[in-house]
Amino acid sequence: MSVRVRFAPSPTGFPHVGNIRTALFDWLLARNMGGTFILRVEDTDRSREVEGAREGIKEALRWLGMDWDEGPDVGGPFAPYNQSERLSIYQPLYQQLLAQGDAYKCFCTSERLAGLRKSQEEAKKPTMYDRHCRQLSDAPEGQPFVIRLKMPLEGKTVLHDYLRGDVEFDNALVDDPVLIKSDGFPTYHFAAMVDDHLMEITHVIRAEEWISSAPKHIRLYEAFGWQQPIWVHPSIILGPDRKRLSKRHGATEALAFRDEGVLPDALVNFLALCGWSPGDDREVMTRRELIEAFSLDGIQVSPAIFDHEKLKWMNGVYIRQMPLPVFGAACRPYLGEVDAPDEYIEAVVALEQERVRTLSEIKEATSFFFDEAFEYDEKGVEKWFRQGDPRPILEAMVRRLAAQEHWSADGLAPIADAVAEELGLEKRAPVIHTARVAISGRTGGPGLFDMMTVMGKDRVLRRIHRTLETHSASAP
């Protein structure tokens, strides 16, 4: 069997991690099996379409390297791939259902339906259409209508799910879904199933929340006499608190992670492991390794946990694997406007490659390298400037640094020992910490001597002089 899978988002919003995880499972299956990955835009809900979302969907997939074989901007044998352009394809098929007696016109007004829902809620009954128009003999002329599918009134409908086995539904509790809206546009229940059949989709991978709609879709396949695809419903994605993933957990839109400085390969790796396992303890996997290991059998039905901290850890692993020139180029958009030579910028970001977890962290991590008006960390000032007089240390440093000819980390390191010995200090730690705060304003960061090497002699001396002028007066 030639595998054909589709990612079919709606442009009613920008793709979030749940959408993209579904797309990724589709893409990995297609690439593993030598199959076809299709992008189809389900844009029949025109009133809810969000400006820019259509392009955002394609942009997110491209950023993540998930190329599609058929769909918008690519074409294919089943073009067009925007459902709003396929109305002429749907029309004869819903007319066929009406002629067969498998669907009917419903003339109920929105007011009647709202009243029905309210009365059912007050009576604490399931809210569903009461099939008022199902046996209607006299159809009102000129009145708007929708087309509903006739669901069986008795018995069971069974979903054969690849992951979950057989799931049964009581037909008496399943609504007659609307297939065609009063504006002539199809609903998801109709268009998606028709397109899946016509586009020869072999596997429908979709979120767990679609399980409750499965009997309606199975009934539609049965009404047309079509063979059903393989249904696959992975688990939902939860936050670390095991509640439904939402904005309160942090970024959820795929492109927001790009803005945050998450690398595409890291996000792909992380999302693949949200509800799927390669069958061993591997966590950091290349794209090729993911493709080779992927199978539907590895998908789990227990809820997946999306932990932003774990993603940042994994992204840090990928950052540390980047060649320095590539890392430097990737950092540039996140640094903002900095007035410095390229070689200085590359040397600065190189000091933070082992420390940052996202590219967006690079600006804060390196700001003191570029800004002479940096602020001093208050805790550092309190400990190293106020609890003792920093002047002897800083003055000794200035004297020795001014005479230093070999300006490198190896050449600078002995100076700290020499200053400590000169001042009768048991350890060199006070020298290093005092100098660090004086030069960077911070108590942590890259190695002091590596930092000084990159900054250069003039900048280091200028900053120590500034500290002597502005902070040593606060010492006892």
3-state secondary structure the chain: CCCEEEECCCCCCCCEHHHHHHHHHHHHHHHHHCCEEEECECCCCHHHCCCCHHHHHHHHHHHCCCCCCEECCCECCCCCCEHHHCHHHHHHHHHHHHHHCCEEEECCCHHHHHHHHHHHHHCCCCCCCCCCCCCCCCCCCCCCCEEEECCCCCCEEEEEECCCEEEEEEHHHCCCCEEECCCCCECHHHHHHHHHHHCCCCEEECCHHHHHHHHHHHHHHHHHCCCCCEEECCCCEECCCCCECCHHHCCCEHHHHHHHCCCHHHHHHHHHCCCECCCCCCCCCCHHHHHHHCCHHHECCCCEECCHHHHHHHHHHHHHCCCHHHHHHHHHHHHCCCCCCHHHHHHHHHHHCCCCCCCCHHHHHHHHHHCCCCCCCHHHHHHHHHCCCCHHHHHHHHHHHHHCCCCCHHHHHHHHHHHHHHCCCCCCHHHHHHHHHHHHCCCCCCCHHHHHHHHCHHHHHHHHHHHHHHCHHHCC
Residue from 247, 363, 383, 457 carrying the catalytic annotation: 247
The answer to whether 101 and 150 have CB atoms below 8 angstroms apart is yes
Neighbouring-strand partners of residue 166: 160
Integer Cα distance of 368 and 375 in angstroms: 8
Task: Respond yes or no: is residue 247 known to be catalytic.
Answer: yes
Strand order from edge to edge, sheet including 103-106? 103-106, 146-149, 178-180
Burial of 219 (0-12, 13-18, 19+ CB in 10 A): buried
**Catalytic residue annotation:** 247
